[in-house]
Structure 1
């Protein structure tokens, strides 16, 4: 399913002219080798350009003949390769291997170009016929750059001030050689396209997955006998045609270089739509991850489009038409030694995506503090509630990867499939509440959403409301409300207090109420005596009403789900006070 979707995406990109045709790929190239008509090397020059911050030089990406996959064996690329292959020189201290590399490259170029017309092809043939590797280090064009070339990077042949690969005769010769090449002598039924075609023995590398090898890692590989069966070798164990392998590899590498990629936790996420429209794919990503900093869409745009798609209507936004029947794909990849691990894959229509995402946001909905700048808690922001708060997103991301490496990916999977939330989300959030004695908007939203989907009778639906439920008779919930009232009483009696009962007693109050609440209520009586009559009557009434709901004795212990109800009661009662304060301020301003 994954490879098939990527092949279809590749073909859509090819139709739009946004990706290289089969047999070609974009490769980082650091140096150009300019040839004379007689094949002699007359100039060597760098192709690197300064990075956006100007701190280092970066190679250029050029379209070149498809690169072979190398491990420890000698295998040459066409027209673009390292110094070992194109020049027969390096500083690796293995002269015999270096010589073998150059000879392999020489043989490949002379074979492909043997009948190719044109000056460029003749120059490349003449180069390999006349180049003297042992004396190459003394070549005047090479000497100024030799130490830098030894550090690595690809070189490419230039003729007449343009890449030799751009010459039409050379390009045609390469295409013919590529199309007729096969890793297998016998055509097999491709498991992706269903057609009879030569099977790819080795699959191309995927580059851009965070944590994987910088040179790339395989999505499909069989590098040990334990992975093989029935005497098959390498790719014969899962027959994928050379065409399908090239298509899915190029499509995935294209996605990983595009803007439609997000890195959350240890997962690198790419997403796309069936017609390969990058703008529509970007908007679909915004439905899941929120708008990016320089996005043209606001939260209201995104949430409005979700509502239309949920009801099966087309969402028109600027110049885009989001059809509810358009298929959306999202793939999560994680590093796994020399391979890539598929963490999740999801595909369905925009309507299904919108319904599942909307259900998630409805479960999250809870009274939002007035000081919060955003209306929506996007998944990654939600995952951060499980780790220590930091304004530095990079630092928070590092801690999230260290403490809960799989949380972000598991959370995203549960949202996409509308299934139970991962337990690590709740556990991490509860740990932060216990450590910081603070139930933030995000943490309260996590608790509400978690028990709305992962139902538990100890945290019933009556406490999973958007705002405070004054009619609830749930004991843990009302204990949380009572704790908020007692804290409010203390703050009213001591306006400049920095440390409240929350800092000292919140954890024990939510876990073992019978040990703490009698003391807190006695303390509240002393605080009430310091207040004016209006404050004293209002707060004493609240304490009395909640005490009546609780009965004569407090529970000895609250289970984890009951502690969740306590935390929700506390948070919602606190927001009720802030809401009243805000409403009063607004009324004064209107007057």
Structure 2
């Protein structure tokens, strides 16, 4: 299913001219070996460009279309026209050696073989270079000595002459394509992806762009031990994927992972997404839904309103089709391989609908200084982690399960709720609006807490004991704060966690403290004393004769929510005054 979707994406991208044709690929190239017609080195040209990343300026290699590069895990295997200094020049930082000379000889044999019989000027220049170049005398070449350190740092090199690159020469391209068709006569079979009969790929190309995986790339499909093989089928013949399908899915996935605006990191998982049609408008729209910002919130509100009426908006004069298939893939590093965290497929309309429902559940009254109307998914997950810790990433499998639940409209994973509660306890009851929003969304979706606007802000009509106790605690804290202006530590710092878990034990202590605070208010601010006593009586009237000894985990979340709502109501009244 994943490979089939990626093959379709490749075909859409190929139609738009965004990816290479079979036999070719995109590679990062650091230097050009510029040649004379007789094969001598004319000069070494640096192709790196300066780019500002954060506050630093770094040199970035140039991305170029080059002949398909081989997959190297061990042994010697040369690429055509694009490779590192060991293969094209026979040198590394220390000079040359026996193994490095073998690499150069492998490249020499490949280039002379592919370019045999050609009369083109560029092809002859490359052939002459390999015939005449001696790696042992490389250190005597003044053109190399000037760029020696950069040339031997492992980056790719290409050949060129005057202002043209060898891989752009039409005759060389023709020779390369011919050589590819001749070497593809290998093991044949039925491709599991396309269903067509043809050459089967023995080794699949590496996938790059997943943080934590090998920098040289990691495999999505591979077999590296006899235990994984069956019926005598070795390596990837065990799960036959045709050469075309292998090239297509690896090219498409590498392209998607290379697009910064259409990927994002969720814990250790790299998430990419695309529409079956290949239209980027769907990706743009989906990306804006994942990370709502003040500059796109009006558009999202309009979309949410349209979804309720079964209407869909145009985006930059492009009509969005709600029935368009949309794919979301999560990949995580696993040594030399990639692990698929999740793969989700649905219509674009359904995905937007589930995202809208999630944002509606998580909406809550906020402090006046908060500018964002919506809490993005990554910001939400950040609330489950100690932001003072060295590792600020949420638990990997929890993060991916949360995204899956949101996309499919399913129940949130319990770890989202428990990790949020743990952070609240660790911070002595610091229930921020983001944490309160998570609790609200979880309780609505998983425990069927009353929906609608009743829990958007303070629900004064609610008679749930846990919620009312949270309100009561907030009111007792407010009395203490008004009685002692400028106090640095309140009852929240000392009693919140225990009051939330065992209210029957803690609240009698809090009421004793309240009485002393009320006496102080009676002396300093009589009107405040009357207000608070009325509020306490109103809240106590919603409780039973006996406080519960313990609150369940679900009830503790309601306690926190009641506390947050009551505190926000207090600040709201101050702002009105």
Q: In which range does the TM-score fall when normalised by the shorter chain?
A: over 0.9
**CA root-mean-square deviation:** 2.2
> Does residue 422 of the first structure (1) align with residue 413 of the second (2)?
yes
Q: Deviation string for 1:37-68 (max 9, x for gaps)?
A: 12222222322222325643222111111100
Native 8 Å contact 2:266 2:396 kept in 1: no
CA contact (8 A) 1:223 1:234 kept: yes
Q: Is 2:13 aligned against 1:2?
A: no
Residue 70 of structure 2 contacts residue 77 of structure 2 at CA under 8 Å; is this kept in 1? yes
The equivalent of 2:432 in structure 1 is: 440
Residue matched to 2:269: 267
The 1:421/1:205 distance shift into structure 2, 3 A limit, reads: same
Residues in 1 aligned to 2:203 and 2:304: alpha-carbon distance in whole angstroms: 42
Q: Secondary structure at the match of 1:399?
A: coil
Q: Which residue in the other structure is 1:333 paired with? A: 331
After TM superposition, the runs of 4+ consecutive aligned structure 1 residues lying more than 4 A away are: 91-94, 459-464
Aligned match of 2:478: 488
Determine the C-alpha separation between the residues in 1 that align with 2:298 and 2:453.
28
**Separation in 2 of the partners of 1:565 and 1:527?**
27
| Shift of residue 92, structure 1, vs aligned partner | 6.6
Q: Deviations over 1:235-274 (max 9, x none)?
A: 1111111111111111111111112111121111111122
Structure 1 position 323, deviation (Å): 1.9
Contact 2:115–2:127 under 8 Å retained in 1? yes
Distance in structure 2 (CA, Å) of the matches to 1:40 and 1:557 = 85
Q: What CA deviation, in whole Å up to 9, does each residue of 1:521-542 have, x standing for no partner? A: 1222222232444322221122
Residue 160 (structure 1) shift? 2.7
**Alignment-derived partner of residue 407 in structure 1:** 398
CA distance in 2, matches of 1:565, 1:433: 13
1:345 alignment partner, SS class: strand
Question: Which residue of 357, 360, 381 corresponds with 2:379?
Answer: 381
Range with greater deviation from structure 2 (491-500 or 240-249): 491-500
Corresponding residue number in structure 2 for 1:588: none
Question: Which residue of 507, 519, 522 corresponds with 2:497?
Answer: 507
> Are 1:309 and 1:350, in contact at CA under 8 Å, matched by a contact in 2?
no
- Residue 225 to residue 92, structure 1, CA distance change in 2 (3 Å): farther
Q: CA deviation at 1:148?
A: 3.1
Shift of 1:100: 1.9
Deviates more, 1:364-373 or 1:84-93: 84-93
In structure 2, distance between residues paired with 1:87 and 1:533: 90
State the distance in 1 between where 2:104 and 2:495 align.
74
Q: Structure 1, residues 121-161: CA drift from partner, whole Å, max 9, x if none?
A: 11112222222232233223222222332222111111232
Q: What is the match of residue 27 of structure 1? A: 27
d(CA) in 1 for partners of 2:387, 2:337: 33
Q: Does the Cα contact within 8 Å between 2:90 and 2:96 map onto a contact in 1?
A: no
Q: Following TM superposition, by how much is the alpha carbon of 1:88 offset from its aligned partner in structure 2, in angstroms?
A: 1.9
Report if aligned partners of 1:404, 1:424 keep a CA contact under 8 Å in 2. no
- Partner SS for 1:549: coil
TM-score, normalised on structure 2?
0.94
SS in 2 for 1:324: coil
**Tell me, what secondary structure is at the counterpart of 2:559?**
helix
Structure 1 distance, partners of 2:510, 2:165, is: 80
Structure 1 residue 309: Cα displacement: 4.3
Post-superposition Cα deviations, 1:412-468, rounded to whole Å, max 9, x if no partner, equal: 111112222122211221111112121111111111111222227xx7779972222
Secondary structure of 2:339 counterpart: strand
Contact 2:272 2:328 in 1 (8 A): yes
Query: Is this contact kept in 2: 1:255–1:270, CA < 8 A?
Result: yes
Equivalent in 426, 447, 469 of residue 479 of structure 1: 469
Say which SS state the counterpart of residue 343 (structure 2) adopts.
strand
Gaps of 5+ in 2: none
> Contact 1:113–1:173 (CA<8 Å) still a contact in 2?
yes
CA 1:269 to 1:143, structure 2 compared with 1: closer, same or farther past 3 Å? same
Q: Does the CA-based 8 Å contact 1:452-1:464 persist in structure 2?
A: no
Q: 1:240 to 1:311 in 2, by over 3 A?
A: farther
Mapped partners of 1:284, 1:484: distance in 2 = 39
Question: Mean alpha-carbon deviation: is it higher for 30-39 or for 491-500?
Answer: 491-500
Change beyond 3 A, Cα 1:51–1:317: closer
SS in 2 for 1:194: coil
480-489 or 540-549, which deviates more:
540-549
**For 1:80, which of 74, 79, 82 is the aligned residue?**
82
Residue 572 of structure 1 aligns with which residue? 565
Give the whole-Å Cα distance in 2 for the aligned partners of 1:399 and 1:350. 34
Aligned to 1:11: 11
Do the aligned partners of 1:256 and 1:270 also contact (CA within 8 Å) in 2?
yes
Partners of 2:307 and 2:81 in 1: how far apart? 50
TM norm structure 1: 0.91
Check conservation: 1:307, 1:354, Cα contact below 8 A: no
Deviations 1:530-555 (A, max 9, x none): 24443222211221222233233322
Q: Deviations over 1:293-312 (max 9, x none)?
A: 9xxx5112023224424654
Corresponding position of 2:286: 284
Q: In the alignment, which residue of structure 2 is the partner of 1:215? A: 216
Alpha-carbon distance, 1:339 to partner: 0.3
1:365 lines up with 2:363 in the alignment: yes
Per-residue CA deviations over 1:201-229 (Å, capped at 9, x if unaligned) read 11111111111111111111111112211
- 2: distance between equivalents of 1:128 and 1:384? 55
- Greater shift in the superposed pair: 124-133 or 371-380: 124-133
Contact 1:309 1:324 in 2 (8 A): no
Tell me if 1:541 matches 2:543. Answer: no
* Alignment partner of 2:458 out of 448, 463, 468: 468
Deviation readout 1:350-380 (Å, 9 max, x if unpaired): 2110111122112212222222111101111
Displacement after TM superposition at 1:91 (Å): 4.6
Match of 1:450 among 434, 439, 442: 442
2:96–2:136 contact (8 Å) kept in structure 1:
no
Q: Which residue of 2 aligns with 1:589?
A: none
Alignment deviations for residues 472-524 of structure 1 (CA, whole Å, 9 cap, x no partner): 22211111111111112222222322222112211111111122111211222
Describe the SS at the equivalent of 1:286.
Answer: helix
Residue by residue over 1:20-50, the C-alpha shift from the partner in whole angstroms, topping out at 9 and shown as x without a partner, is 2221111111121111112222222322222
